[in-house]
């Protein structure tokens, strides 16, 4: 007799696309039947929908700013039972030691916690990270049961130009999954990138971009996070043109824990896609079996005989209210919130800044300046040109601000400063050690004194978020683990995160962007068009410094 039977449910069959009324029988963590059953324990679902647990196909747990066990438990509450994460954020800070810490933490997670090994640490040779990971460093982790393959190949130029180190990594994982990262890559360049062995991409902003990648044989991971919101554009195109979705899955990439607490991750993506007109079963397929098939996850992603009893029960597709969640047949309420594991001293003391003063924020007077232009609800930027007079006017009216990146791993004398438009901030400075992907200090402000003060506070609290005004600390949020993550519980951390985000908006930050996630991506020199690293202002379209 089965241990548990979920009776009278509307079971979503991802193989046939049907919704079948019946019972789900579970024994020793495995689904043993769908039909008519009796069990030792029975629960009447009263006609609610039964789906396999959701799969978040690409993310960086570090972007939630809590540790893997804390993050995983929050995901589980919203029906996500499997995550595929690339820990390249913390690897850029701590190298192989960080990977060892993360894989050890994965063992404590109450969900299926899979890792894609970071392929680009650092993301490019145009910045200074805390570590460098070569092919031999990654191959040491290849046989770990939680490792699925090679994480996103952000160095597209290095891939296309056959950099030896990039090719060594691709060859070392050629029989495993290799994730891509190809924003705005098209035509022959895209064909060559796929030929190299890249199998997925999560960087499509438009439907046309996603469709071209699908036509090349790539799996497209539709992203909807805190800063990058691409789902609407892609799903509208899918519906309009009747595109096959079997090679598409959902992901969040980067999502604040506070946003996850409000709506979940994949659950929110399903709800939005269905509201746009995507047939509900197709949305569930994208959230479950599609992701499982893309990543070769056996016996995962379906409510069917022999599959893991990872199950989510919800009321309807309009509201997507979660009724109950089961992991290996165990209900959420019987799964204790996991404790944090121990982390190395290196990761708990990672902010090492050399001497700087206000001169670090000097920008020579010129007739014209290249300016980073923020695009609302995206992490892509535009390359703007502004005259000296326009810069002065923008600094006065709040439309232009200074932005600087300062090396923080080995006390090196590397820093750069430029101008940025579209961030807002009426007066003061905002800074963080979360600066993708090398995670140096990034600071934005309208005066050098406050910018320097913000950097000094980050040194004192060993990384995190900081807001300064008139030389005084307005708010700070310590992220003591690698300057990226808090060791607090979700219940402790989320109110503090909500508070500092709201204080940033009160300081005049554009409410159509996330104050900290948007800022953190201004340092990533692999997403067009223009970025800033600790080495200078960088044109991603030409892949060279300005």
- Taking residue 84's Cβ as centre, other Cβ atoms within 10 Å add up to 27
- Taking residue 536's Cβ as centre, other Cβ atoms within 10 Å add up to 18
Give phi and psi for 144, each to the nearest 5: -65, 130
Each residue of 329-357: b (16+ CB within 10 Å) or e? Answer: bbebeebeebebbebeeebeebbebeebe
CATH assignment of 53-299, given 3.40.1390.30, 3.40.50.360, 3.20.20.140, 3.40.50.300?
A: 3.20.20.140
pLDDT of the residue at 228: 84
DSSP for residue 481: B
* DSSP E strand stretches across 470-508: 472-478
pLDDT digits (tens, 9 = 90+) for 343-387: 999 999 999 999 999 999 999 999 999 999 999 888 889 999 999
Q: What is the dihedral of CA 156, 157, 163, 166, to 10 degrees?
A: -10
CA distances (Å), origin 244, targets 2, 47, 55, 214, 238: 37, 29, 19, 9, 8
Give phi and psi for 454, each to the nearest 5: -60, -40
- Say if residues 60 and 93 touch (Cβ distance below 8 Å): no
- Say if residues 105 and 67 touch (Cβ distance below 8 Å): yes
Cis peptide before 122 (omega within 30 of 0): yes
Q: Which residue ranges make up each domain of the chain?
A: 53-299, 358-545
* DSSP E strand stretches across 60-146: 80-85, 112-117
pLDDT of the residue at 109: 96
pLDDT of the residue at 124: 84
- Residue 463 neighbours by CB under 8 Å, 6+ apart: 350, 351, 433, 478, 479, 480, 482, 483, 484
The pTM of this model reads 0.92
- Taking residue 17's Cβ as centre, other Cβ atoms within 10 Å add up to 12
Alpha carbon distance 126, 539 (integer Å): 11
- Residue 114 neighbours by CB under 8 Å, 6+ apart: 82, 83, 84, 85, 146, 147, 148, 295, 297
Give phi and psi for 513, each to the nearest 5: -130, 160
Q: What's the half-sphere exposure (Cβ side, CA atoms, 13 Å) at 67?
A: 28
Alpha carbon distance 379, 367 (integer Å): 28
In 132-227, alpha helices (H): 135-139, 156-160, 164-172, 187-195, 207-215
CA 339 to chain CA mean position, Å: 23
DSSP codes of every residue in 234-272: HHHHHHHHT---TTEEEE-BS--HHHHHHH-SHHHHHHH
Alpha carbon distance 112, 397 (integer Å): 49
- List the beta bridge partners of residue 55: 82
pLDDT of the residue at 321: 98
pLDDT of the residue at 125: 87
Q: Which of 187, 186, 117 is nearest to 152 (CA)?
A: 117
pLDDT of the residue at 536: 96
pLDDT of the residue at 371: 98
pLDDT of the residue at 245: 98
Judging by beta carbons within 10 Å of its beta carbon (0-12, 13-18, 19+), is residue 160 exposed, middle or buried?
A: middle
- List the beta bridge partners of residue 224: 229
Point out the residues of the chain with pLDDT beneath 50. none
pLDDT of the residue at 335: 97
Alpha carbon distance 410, 439 (integer Å): 12
pLDDT of the residue at 396: 95
């Amino acid at each position: 007799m089965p241990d548990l039977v979920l009776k009278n449910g509307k079971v979503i069959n991802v193989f046939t696309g049907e919704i079948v009324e019946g019972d789900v029988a579970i024994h020793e963590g495995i689904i043993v039947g769908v039909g008519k059953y009796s069990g030792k324990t029975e629960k009447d679902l009263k006609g609610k929908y039964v789906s396999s647990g959701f799969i978040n196909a690409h993310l960086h747990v570090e972007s939630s700013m809590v540790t893997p066990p804390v993050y995983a438990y929050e995901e589980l509450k919203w029906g996500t039972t499997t995550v595929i994460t690339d820990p390249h954020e913390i690897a850029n800070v701590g190298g192989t030691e960080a990977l060892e810490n993360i894989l050890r933490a994965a063992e404590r997670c109450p969900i299926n916690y899979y890792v894609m090994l970071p392929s680009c640490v650092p993301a490019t040779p145009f910045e200074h990270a805390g570590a460098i990971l070569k092919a031999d460093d990654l191959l040491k982790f290849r046989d770990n049961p939680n490792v699925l393959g090679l994480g996103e190949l952000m160095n597209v130029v290095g891939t296309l130009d056959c950099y030896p180190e990039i090719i060594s990594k691709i060859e070392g994982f050629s029989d495993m999954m290799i994730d891509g990262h190809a924003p705005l890559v098209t035509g022959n360049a895209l064909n060559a990138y796929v030929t190299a062995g890249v199998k997925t991409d999560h960087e499509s902003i438009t439907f046309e971009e996603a469709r071209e990648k699908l036509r090349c044989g790539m799996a497209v991971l539709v992203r909807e996070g805190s800063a990058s919101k691409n789902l609407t554009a892609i799903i509208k195109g899918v519906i309009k043109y009747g595109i096959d979705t079997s090679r598409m899955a959902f992901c969040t990439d980067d999502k604040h824990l506070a946003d996850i607490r409000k709506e979940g991750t994949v659950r929110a993506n399903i709800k939005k896609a269905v509201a746009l007109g995507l047939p509900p079963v197709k949305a569930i397929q994208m959230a479950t079996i599609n992701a499982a098939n893309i990543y070769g996850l056996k016996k995962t992603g379906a409510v069917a005989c022999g599959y893991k009893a990872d199950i989510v029960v919800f009321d309807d597709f309009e509201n997507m209210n979660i009724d109950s969640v089961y992991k290996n047949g165990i209900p959420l309420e019987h799964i204790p919130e996991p404790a944090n594991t121990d982390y190395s001293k290196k990761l708990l003391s990672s902010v090492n800044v050399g001497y700087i003063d206000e001169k670090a924020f000097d920008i020579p007077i010129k007739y014209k300046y290249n300016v980073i232009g923020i695009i609302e609800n995206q992490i892509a930027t535009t390359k703007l040109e502004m005259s000296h007079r326009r810069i002065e006017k923008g600094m006065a009216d709040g439309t232009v601000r200074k932005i600087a990146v300062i090396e923080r791993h080995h006390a090196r004398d590397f820093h750069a400063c430029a101008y940025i438009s579209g961030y807002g901030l009426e007066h003061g400075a905002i800074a963080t050690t979360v600066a993708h992907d090398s995670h140096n200090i990034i600071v934005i402000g309208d005066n050098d004194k406050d910018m320097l003060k913000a950097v000094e506070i980050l040194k004192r609290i060993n990384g995190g978020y900081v807001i300064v005004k008139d030389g005084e600390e307005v708010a700070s949020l310590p992220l003591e683990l690698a300057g990226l993550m808090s060791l607090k519980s979700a219940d402790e951390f989320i109110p503090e995160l909500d508070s500092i985000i709201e204080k940033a908006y009160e300081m005049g930050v554009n409410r159509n962007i996330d104050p900290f996630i948007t800022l953190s991506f201004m340092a990533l020199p692999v997403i067009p068009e223009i970025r800033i690293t600790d080495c200078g202002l960088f044109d991603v379209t030409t892949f060279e410094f300005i």
